[in-house]
Every structure is written in C-alpha cells, then in structure tokens.
Structure 1
Amino acid sequence: MPIILNSSFAAFGTVTTLLVLVTLYIFNVVYEVQPVPFLDEIFHIPQAEKYCKGLFGEWDPKITTLPGMYLLSVGVLMPLSSVLGIDLCGTYGLRMMNVFACFANFYIMYNIQKRLYPEMKGLESSLQVLLSAMNLAIFPLLYFFTFLYYTDAIATGLILLTYLLQLDGCTLLATLTASIAVLVRQTNVVWVAFIAFLSISHVLKLHILKYNSRLSPTVSRSTKYLQVLLDTLLQTWKRGFTSRVQLAHNILYNSGGFIVIGLCFLGFIFWNGGLVVGDRSAHQAVLNFPQLFYFSLFLVVFCFPYMVMCVKRVLVTVIKHWMLILMLMLGCIVIIHFNTHVHPYLLADNRHYTFYVWKRLYERHFLIRFLLIPFYLFGAISVNQLLKETDLAFRTGYFAFVTLCLVPQRLLEFRYFIVPFLMLRLHIRLKTWWQLVAEFILFVCINASTIYLFITRTFYWPDSQEVQRFLW
C-alpha cells in the first residue's frame, strides 16, 4: 500500500508540474503577442482596474454579468500587491487569475472523480483518474480562455467546487461557493439548481434505503425507481408527523442554502427587470431548441473516444425503436425549419469560429441543417448510453437542466457548452486506457491548433488599425 501511495503521489506531482510549466509558457507567449485587452477584455479589465482603485460605484453599462469576478480579483490581487510592493492589477495579473483557476480546476475535477468512483483505488485506476483530470483541465474550450481575462475558468471552477463540496457533505461551504458562482455568472444559477436537485435526490435515496430493501443499483438506474420512491413516500406519510418532519428536515438541511440562493435570485430578476445587467438588447431570452442539436454535435466531436464505442448500441436502439426514431427525426425537421435563430453577433464578428461554422456550413449549404439530424440523434442517444451507469435521477436532471441552460440562449456560443460537457464527462465511467489517451491527443491537437491560430494568424478590419485574432 505505501508503494502504491508513493507512486500515485509521484504521478500526481509529475502531471501537475507538467500542466503548470506548459500553461505558464503558453500564457507568457500569449501575453507577449497580445499585451493589451482583446475583445471582451476591453470591458472586463478596465472594470476590474476600477475596482482595484476602490471605484466600486463606477460600472460599464455594456457589461452584462454580475461583478463577482472583479471582486474576487480585487480580493486576491490587492493583498498580494501590498505584500510584494508592485501593482498586480493590470492585464498580466488579471489574466493570471484564470491560470490559477485552471490549476484549481484540475485539482477539483481530480477529487470529484475520486468521490464518484471510490472503487478505483489501485495504482492503475488512480493513474486513469489522474489522466482523466488532466484531460478535463485542458478541455479546449475551457483551456483556451485560461489565457484571457474571461469569466469561464473562474465561473466553471466555482460550480465544480460547489459540486465537490456537496459530494463531501459540506453544505454550508457549498452554499457559499454557489453564491459566488452566481455572482460571477448569472446562468450558473441553473447549475446550482442542478446540484440542489442532486442533493435532494441523494437524501431521498438514503431515505428509501432506510425503509425499503427493494432498492438495488439496477433499480436506481431504471424507471422502477420512481415506483419505489412513490411507495416509500407514501409509507413515510402513513408513519405520521415525526417521519414527515424528519424527511423534510433532511432535505432542507442539505439543500436549504441552495433554495435561499434561488429565492434571492428570483428577487434579483424582479428588481433588475431581467436576468442580464447592463446592455440587454443583445441578450434577450428566446426558445431556441436547435441549441440542443448543436450541443449534441459538439459532444460527438469532443466525446468521440467514448461515443465511438456506442455505435453498435445506438444501431440496436434505432432498429428496435425505429418508429420512435422516425418521429424524432420529423420533429427535428420541424424544429429546425421553424425555430432556427440567427443572432446578429453570429454574423457580425468574423473572429469567432462559430462565424465560419455558420457561414460556410449552415448558411451556404441549407440542406446540411437537415442532413446533420442523424448525427444530432446519435449524440443524444450516445449520451444516454454513456450515462446508463448513473442513477435515473442524475440522467433525468442532466437532460432537464441542459435544456434549461441552452434553449433560452439565442446566440450560438461554444462557451455555453463548457459546464454541460464537464458534467457529462465527469460521470462517464473510466474503463480503458486507449480512450483516455485518444482524448488527450484530441484535446492537445485542438489546443495546439487554436492557440497557434490565435498567436500567428492575425488580420485587420478595413475600418480599424487594431490587430484581430481568431478564437472560439
């Protein structure tokens, strides 16, 4: 056992050192070529600098998120500036916040997987979890924005930390991190609600195990779980007032903080007149169901090493339920035809990859929107297959909250897919080395390509002398 622990610790230290060195090198190269704020940074960095100067009453009305990231930056950088005697609250120091968030996210995701799969204790299993955490830390969408002062790394890290704390039963700390997560990015409230849902589901599951011996792992993963849950709740009701109060107490103890956050957020929406602060004209909620299709195709690409193993099972499902699949395809056709939204930002900014995806794929070849439907369905069915070893509550909640997160968004923006992807990927049970290695190679190649394009493939707009770069 000591040999295994020493080997695991040595491997963890080696991987962490490699991640730190490579990330710091890329960070400095990016800073050298782009030392001034770029794109959304022209709003974020000046606002953070104002807060560093104590100008908390000044606010840029074009910023649409709450000030959580700026407050965190002030709380970290200003004390360090005082100790070191230098001003860290500039572009370099503010971007460095996301570098530290990247390292923290690696450690958090490593521990989440250790909690989710406690049976993976041997040296080989520990190394698989370690490589998996490394892969997730360099997940291209999340890793790229490590090098700019965007909200993604910190906002994602706070949601992951909240989930880890909830898995550990640290409800008060989880409530605190959840509150900060919402202050950094409003849409994080959806994932706070998801974690609250999982917390309540866990309490109910423990309640069932206490009073009902019929709950096996197989039952908890099937629709039979609903009947067992209903039977147990009816028995609790019949047992009297004490049993009901005890169950209610357990639910509130584990999720009460999240409920308070939800109520406060509803109050904020009522007071603010909407979800978005600042400029709301370009961030109005709509019903955009094709967002789920885009996300499904996104998963086919980034979960390819895992989804490729689902091909046979998906074909069996299609053959067995061909009538249902046909109806789903017809539904997709109707949705795409009548419900496709094109945000003005998507067509106006040629720095983003989504501009080229839309212009050269969806817009130029109109039929491609419909020809991609089989891939959309393959992705959706594969997700269900990949999550088959999770509880019914998690699968149901995941699909529901992904829908709640993505459908109201009018803009096709890959960054919206970061947390949905990570929540899925963290719950894919690790089985083979080749999938992890293939995933690592895939992510490294994508990162190398996107960072290379950002650094070297610059261009200029006719009406501007500022250098432009390609990014997600």
Structure 2
Amino acid sequence: MADSIEVTRRWASPLATLALSIPILILVSRRTGKKWQNFPPFSLLTLLSGAWFMIVSETVSEPYLVWQKFSHDEIFHIPQAQRYCEGKFLEWDDKITTPPGLYLFSILLQKTAAAVKLPWVFSCDTSSLRITNVLGLIVLASLTLLCRHEIESRLYEAHSSARLKAISKYAVHTAFNIALFPLLFFFSGLYYTDVISTAVVVGGYLNHLKRVGRDRSSFVSDLITVLLGTLALLMRQTNVFWIVVWMGGLEAVHALKTMRPQHAEQPFMTTLTDQVKFYAWRYSVGDIHDPPLNLAWPDDMLFTAISLAIAALCNPIRVIRQIWPYISVLAAFASFVAWNGGVVLGDKSNHVATIHLAQLLYIWPFFAFFSLPLLLPHVIPILDIARNVLRSLSQSGQRAGSSQPSKTSRSFEFSRFVKSKRPEGSKARDTRSTASQVALETPSHGSPSPALRTADFIFNSKFIPWIIYTLLTFVVSTAIVKFNTIIHPFTLADNRHYMFYIFRYTIRRGSLIRFMLIIPYTISRWMVWGTLAGCADWILSSNRELCSARYNVNEPAPYTSYPLWIAWGTKKTQTNVEYPQDVSQMPRNSASTDGELRGTVEDDPLLVSAEPTSTSTGLIFLLATTLSLMTAPLVEPRYFILPWVMWRLLVPAWRVHDHAHINSLFEGVAPRSIVGKTREVFKRYDVRLVLETLWFVAINVATGYIFLMKPYVWKDEQGRNLEDGRLQRFMW
C-alpha cells in the first residue's frame, strides 16, 4: 500500500505538468495559420522534458551538489524554497546570493494545487520543486515562439502593407531548438534558477516587441513593463542589463525612428566640414543611419552609433517618454543595491564584482560550439573555392594545348571575393570605384578639399575599414589576454564542472596557448556575427541583390543616412523608401490580401523569416552582453544562456539557393535525383534547423548519460573517501 502511494506521488507532478502544458500549447497553437502546426513539436518537448525529469528524480533523488562554497546549487535552493512553502519568508540562508523569484513561482504552484483540492500534486518536496522548471521550459518555448513571430512580423511589416498573422515553421522549429539548448534542457530537470529566469526575461522581451509595433505605448503597457522588469530582477540581479540596457536601448532607438523626417535633398559639398554639419543636422531631426545588419560594414556600425547618440541628445523628451518604465526598473535596482550594500544577497565575499573582459572572448567559441550547424553558410563559399581550385588544377594539363578556357576556369573567379572597392549596396551609393572618382574630378562641382578626398578614399575602400577593425580587435584581444585573464578559485577547485577541464587543457597550459586562442576567438566572432547578419555582403560579394533579404544593393533600407555619401550627378538622396508605419494604424488585411500573403508564403515558406535585424539591434546586443558578463569573475557557461537565447531569436532563416549562384556544389545534379530532390526541400526549409536539433539531442544525451551513469567519489591523497562518500557527478 505504501509503495503504491509512493508511486502515485512520484507520477503526480509529471502528470500535473502535462495537464498544465496542454492549455499552454492550445493557446499558442491558436496563433498559427495552421492551428495545430506547433502542437506536435511542443508535445514532443513536453514528453522529452518530462522523461528527463523522471530519470533525474529516480537516479538523483536528493538535492544535488553538496559543497558549501557553491551557493547556487540545489542543496541551498530546495531547503530555502521549502521554508517559503511553510510561510517562513523571513528566514534566509546567507549562502544564497540570488533573489527569491524561483521560490515564488514554486509557491504559486503549491497554492494552485491546494486551491483545486489536489495538495498532494505539489508538496514542495525535491521532486515537486524540480517540476517547476519542467513547466518553465514549456512556457519558455511558447514565449520564444511568440517572440520569433513578433520579430518576423516587425521586419516584414516594415516594408509591406500586409500584416503577418500566421506563425512560420521556422519560428516553431527555432522555439523547439531553443528549448533543447543543452544548458536549458539539462537544468530543467533540476531546481536551478536558469530556466525560470530566462523565461521571465523572454516574457519581458515579448512585451517589448509588442510595444515597438506602435509609435506610442499606453500607460497600462508602461506599468506592465515595470512589473515584468521587477519580476526579472527578482529572478537574478544580472537581468537588469537585459531589461534596462537591451530592451530599454531598443525602445530608445524605436522612439527616434518614429520621428520619420522628410527625406531631404543633399547639395554637393566640397569640404568635409560641410558634409559633417549636414549629416549632424539630419541626425538631429531623426534621419539616422541604421542599415540592415547584412549590409553593414564596420564603419556603418560606427556611424550608426554616432547618429543615434546625436538624435538622442537632440530629442531627450521623446526618448525618455518611451523608456521611462526601464528607468524606473533601474532606479528600483539602484535602491536595492544601496539598501543591500551590494548587488548580491547573502555571502558577498566570494561574489565580488571584478572587471573581467576576457568573458567577451570566451563567449564566441561558446556560441560557435553550440550553434555549429548554424555556421553552415560560412562553410559553403570556402568549400566552393577549394573545389574550383582543385578542379582547375586537375584540368590544367588537359587545357595545356588549348587556348579556350574551360567553363570551370571561367566559373572560378576569385575576384568575386576580393575586390578593391566596396559595393554600392552597403551604402546605397552610386558605383563607388568609378563614379566617385569622376565626380571628384568634375569641374562643375568645384574642387573637393584634401580632407574630403582622403575620407572618400578611405571609406570607399573595401579593405581599409576591415583592416583597421581587424587590427584593432586583435590588439584589444591581445591586451585582454595579457592583462585581464582571470582564473577564479572556484574554477580550479571543483572538477565536477566541464569548465574545469576546458581551463585545464587550454588557458592553464601556458601564456603561448592563451595568445594562440585569439585566433579561434576571432574566427568564432566573425562567423557568429555573420550568422546573425544572414545573407551578408562578405559572403555573396558581387551578387548581393540575389539575397533573400528585402533590402539590397538596388533598394537601400529606409534608415540609410551614411555621412560620407556625396551627392554627385542627378541623385540627391540616398534612399526614397518610406519609413515603417505604426502597425496599430495599419488596416486589417482584406480577404484578397490574406490570400495573396498565404500564396506567397506557400511558394516560399522562408521568405518572411529571412530578414536580418538592424545594425542598432546588433550593437545594443553587444552592449548588453558586455555589461552582463564583464563584471563576473567566474567563467560559468550558464552566464551565457541569455546572450545565446537573444542571439538565437534574432538569427534569420537561410535558404540554400541564396548561395546557388556562387557555388557549383550542385552542378550537374539531376532535379529528379535524391540529391536534387533534397536540394528542392531545403529551398523551402532551413536545413540548419534539422542539424541543430540533432546536434542538441546528441549533446543532451551525452551530458545526461555522463551525469547519471558516471558518478564517482572524491578521495584524498591517501585514498580515503571525502564528503562522507557522497556520489559526485559531472555537469555544466
């Protein structure tokens, strides 16, 4: 009888979670064009997370990781949550440094179970508390799905009068993969703060995405923003950077973009001073420079930041009106820090804020490893170049007696990838290599000053800004490695974490290894940033107009205001594209519009998902990531979860035929062959998502197996058991 009761209690929480997840899945499914499109993957996610929870609870039934130095583990969280369940809100374990937000969610589940007369479903034991994160993972997947849909809607509706209603398959699969992200999935079976904290921040991000769909937010929306921001701070203190800097920064940019000044014709100016004054004026009235990230070069990023700074300084009231909820959250956080005497609760001695810039180097290999399948587009051009080189060399002997070059030799044009001048598309200018030179030498325009000639030469070049950027980042990386490599005692003291072994076999091998690691840091950064940019300039070189993205060399984006564009000839404006309008003021789609949009999406399902984000969004992401990591002396993979989730939400879809014109990997493939049919499928579906799912499953299986099936006992030098012979387990 007792055994049957125990079995019933053991299954009660998973079954209750499954029951609670069904309404969530139905609610989210109603937002899709095909209402049950996302039900199968989310149901599978529920089963997978429930199975992981059951296996962990069966194998590791007691709170895990017993060691007094680690205040973020179950041995501290579970007893504290149980005190809260008993109503002992004034009792606090000083070893815990994070706020009690996680416990409040557990209390909510406990009270809900009691309210429906099923208190045995959630009894605040170890198993019941862990189920909080299983439910949190399902909620997180639902929120990421809605966030990705809102991102696609904002980008699509910026250049279309049709409102995007149906959730794309890309958004569904992206949300599923985010939930499978190894760090999130692993900790969904334990009682840690990461899953719920991430879900709360993503919920705040969803609220932000809805706010930027209209010019002015309502007072109710402002209050909701304050409440969500405060709730995020109750989960983890570092969430302040993602609420205030990330979302607040994006809304500040949104406030500036709603100014929508008239496009002004630019006179031809012969001095650099006149050019600077003209664009300073244009920036002050809201004509900012913020191109899509796939069209941005390093100097675009610099001028985007400058234009935003000038516009914000000249229009402070407009900005403050939009971001005052985030200012309120920041003020609340500052008040807490002043009252608490520091950022962390409890034990402050082992959690002293330190400038740790090396975190900004470590994050890129972290992204590259976990998102390895997403880097596929960067491999194809390299494979194509290598393939054509080898083919050209192998056929050189056959062409020795012939003066006619082969098709292969003609197709291999290395100059497509290496050009002396930048394309017009990145700045929406006339052909820069010839037209600018002619214009500068045209007497009717006057004689440009030496300063203007110099600036025109530098910024017309494709390689000079890149060389400066590369050298600068290399020098900064070298300085960080030399002067700011910090190895926290906790990293060296606990061999149960993978980071112990990563440091042991890389950074601790010697100074030479540390400096050599700058190369993979740099390559990883380029590839991760390029993945965020989507169909980018440096990949497609002279054929950028064939990218999936809406704006390209022939049609510049509406926020194109490059300060070194010179108005020669008859063209007096960089772009005449209309600014995006307030979505709330857009008329509802007619039946014909809905039908046309459905037809377009059915013909090309990835079309609405391939739009890259803006340059300002990328810059604010870098700023928020920097601030959230640079004060943490301990290198902890879990600190990278939120940066990765936000980055992953912004990654646009990739289509195989975006690269078809620059590679010959499919040359000669019959359309009816298996390879040909596979290519056609991947024209309509992002193959990277499938590979990403398989990659995450492989990592989760491997790390889960090691955690559950490879325990060991700590021993001293004499071979005696430590920690009373408790089993230790490998984990993130």
TM-score, with normalisation over the residues of structure 1?
0.89
Aligned to 2:233: 182
* 1:216-236 superposed Cα distances (whole Å, 9 cap, x missing partner): 9748964555676578679xx
Query: Mapping of 1:232-381 within 5 angstroms?
Result: 248=317, 251-310=319-378, 321-322=466-467, 324-364=469-509, 366-381=511-526
Aligned to 2:709: 456
Q: Is contact 1:78-1:89 (8 Å) kept? A: no
Percent of aligned positions that are identical: 33
State the shift of 1:394 in Å: 1.0
Q: Is contact 1:65-1:185 (8 Å) kept? A: yes
| Residue in structure 2 matching 1:38, options 50, 59, 64 | 64
CA distance in 2, matches of 1:381, 1:345: 31
Matched letter for residue 16 of structure 1: F
* 1:100-136 superposed Cα distances (whole Å, 9 cap, x missing partner): 1100010100111101112499999821221111011
Give the match's secondary structure for 1:62.
coil
* 1:68-101 superposed Cα distances (whole Å, 9 cap, x missing partner): 1112211222331352032521111111110111
Tell me how large the CA RMSD over aligned residues is: 2.9
CA distance in 1, matches of 2:464, 2:692: 29
Aligned to 1:240: none
Matched letter for residue 45 of structure 1: I
- Report which stretch shifted further, 64-73 or 149-158: 64-73
Query: Mapping of 1:1-400 within 5 angstroms?
Result: 8-39=34-65, 40-82=73-115, 83-86=117-120, 88-118=123-153, 119=156, 126-169=168-211, 170-193=221-244, 194-207=246-259, 209=260, 218=291, 222-223=300-301, 225=304, 248=317, 251-310=319-378, 321-322=466-467, 324-364=469-509, 366-388=511-533, 389-400=612-623
CA distance in 2, matches of 1:154, 1:6: 25
Q: Is contact 2:304-2:615 (8 Å) kept? A: yes
Structure 1 residues 391 and 459: alpha-carbon distance in aligned structure 2, compared to 1, 3 A threshold: same
Structure 1 residues 313 and 252: alpha-carbon distance in aligned structure 2, compared to 1, 3 A threshold: farther
State the shift of 1:177 in Å: 1.6
Structure 1 residues 369 and 311: alpha-carbon distance in aligned structure 2, compared to 1, 3 A threshold: farther
* 1:418-467 superposed Cα distances (whole Å, 9 cap, x missing partner): 00011111111112311111111111111111111111011111212211
Query: Mapping of 1:383-422 within 5 angstroms?
Result: 383-388=528-533, 389-422=612-645
State the shift of 1:5 in Å: 8.9
Unaligned runs of 5+ in 1: 238-243
Q: Is contact 2:362-2:521 (8 Å) kept? A: yes
Unaligned runs of 5+ in 2: 1-29, 66-72, 158-162, 212-220, 265-286, 383-416, 419-461, 534-611, 656-685, 716-721
Structure 1 residues 225 and 124: alpha-carbon distance in aligned structure 2, compared to 1, 3 A threshold: same
CA distance in 1, matches of 2:498, 2:310: 51
CA distance in 2, matches of 1:269, 1:318: 46
Matched letter for residue 637 of structure 2: F
* 1:312-359 superposed Cα distances (whole Å, 9 cap, x missing partner): 899978897345424432432232122111111101111110011111
Q: Give the 4+ runs in structure 1 shifted more than 6 A.
A: 4-7, 120-125, 230-234, 312-320
Structure 1 residues 233 and 420: alpha-carbon distance in aligned structure 2, compared to 1, 3 A threshold: closer
- Report which stretch shifted further, 45-54 or 13-22: 13-22
State the shift of 1:301 in Å: 0.9
State the shift of 1:371 in Å: 1.7
Larger radius of gyration: 2
Structure 1 residues 180 and 219: alpha-carbon distance in aligned structure 2, compared to 1, 3 A threshold: closer
CA distance in 2, matches of 1:32, 1:199: 46
Structure 1 residues 49 and 145: alpha-carbon distance in aligned structure 2, compared to 1, 3 A threshold: same
Matched letter for residue 378 of structure 1: I
Q: Is contact 1:49-1:89 (8 Å) kept? A: yes
Structure 1 residues 283 and 229: alpha-carbon distance in aligned structure 2, compared to 1, 3 A threshold: closer
CA distance in 2, matches of 1:77, 1:142: 23
Q: Is contact 2:31-2:167 (8 Å) kept? A: no
Give the match's secondary structure for 1:55.
coil
CA distance in 1, matches of 2:339, 2:92: 18
Name the structure with the higher helix share: 1
State the shift of 1:7 in Å: 7.5
Matched letter for residue 416 of structure 1: Y
State the shift of 1:282 in Å: 1.3
Aligned residues: 457
State the shift of 1:149 in Å: 0.4
| Residue in structure 2 matching 1:423, options 643, 646, 651 | 646
CA distance in 1, matches of 2:375, 2:327: 36
CA distance in 2, matches of 1:97, 1:58: 22
Structure 1 residues 273 and 319: alpha-carbon distance in aligned structure 2, compared to 1, 3 A threshold: same
Give the match's secondary structure for 2:35.
helix
State the shift of 1:363 in Å: 1.6
Structure 1 residues 455 and 123: alpha-carbon distance in aligned structure 2, compared to 1, 3 A threshold: farther
State the shift of 1:385 in Å: 2.6
Matched letter for residue 707 of structure 2: F
CA distance in 2, matches of 1:191, 1:13: 30
Structure 1 residues 318 and 334: alpha-carbon distance in aligned structure 2, compared to 1, 3 A threshold: farther
